Chain A
Amino acid sequence: GAVVSQHPSRVICKSGTSVKIECRSLDFQATTMFWYRQFPKQSLMLMATSNEGSKATYEQGVEKDKFLINHASLTLSTLTVTSAHPEDSSFYICSARAPGGGGRETQYFGPGTRLLVL
């Protein structure tokens, strides 16, 4: 299957600082990438859809000024959590669309980034 990487895998920061998470598609080009957040023992919640060369589309309830998304190339999308607070502590996962089974595109996920805001 297609490979998606994320960096960093884990980050601890002080409240009020900004954190940037990178998502890369390693062996394919992705015009669309997705950012999810998962709280403990809960499902993955889509935060936003990142489109190469255009503005991201945010899900209802997600602050676009707090979670800045940049999709500058076909293989890289970044999520910046601005002025992070403890309630932003979560597991952030990106995914990218690639050709999958049955002729449909499938989302392949990165390994995730654990963010802890102190």
Chain B
Amino acid sequence: DQQVKQNSPSLSVQEGRISILNCDYTNSMFDYFLWYKKYPAEGPTFLISISSIKDKNEDGRFTVFLNKSAKHLSLHIVPSQPGDSAVYFCAASVGTASKLTFGTGTRLQVTL
């Protein structure tokens, strides 16, 4: 049972444009959500997180939006840069247990 889903396995965006990565979850108990970026043969790098008491969190070029009623979150990257090309995972947890459940990942390719 995949509780966190990223339905787009890949996304291609032109440099300078906005990248929007989507994530859906089924467990209504999740109250903390994170996005990680991962390069091949490396561990994930933490990007940004959001608590369920918020609907938006922004950090530089990265903004995460949370729609609790739809059980949906998205990561916006603007402007997209070639160095952003990587696999992006969303993850969710319940309370302070910090046991993360990961989505399947979306491979982002930023083209020149």
Contacts and interface: CB of A to CB of B under 8 A. Distances in A.
Interface of A: 1, 4, 6, 32, 34, 42-46, 49, 91, 93-95, 97, 100-102, 104-112, 114
Contacts of B44: 44, 93, 109
Contacts, number: 63
Q: Which of A34, A42, A44, A46 has the largest number of chain B CB atoms within 10 A?
A: A44
27 contacts: A1-B46, A4-B43, A32-B98, A43-B102, A43-B104, A44-B44, A44-B89, A46-B100, A46-B101, A91-B41, A93-B44, A100-B49, A101-B48, A101-B57, A101-B59, A104-B32, A104-B49, A105-B98, A107-B34, A107-B46, A107-B98, A108-B46, A109-B36, A109-B44, A109-B45, A110-B43, A114-B41
A43 B103 contact: yes
Contact of A107 (B57, B100, B104): B100
Interface string B76-112: 0000000000000100000010111111110000000
Nearest to A110: B43
A104 B96 contact: yes
Contacts of B43: 4, 6, 93-95, 109-112
Question: Lowest 3 CB-CB distances: which A-B pairs, in order?
Answer: A109-B43, A43-B102, A44-B102
Q: Which of A91, A104, A111 has the largest number of chain B CB atoms within 10 A?
A: A104
Given A1-B45, A4-B43, 12 more contacts: A34-B99, A45-B102, A100-B46, A101-B57, A101-B59, A102-B57, A106-B46, A107-B46, A109-B43, A109-B44, A109-B46, A111-B43
B46 A102 contact: no
A110 B36 CA distance: 13
Nearest to B53: A102
Contacts of B41: 91, 112, 114
B103 A106 contact: no
A42 to B, nearest CB: 7
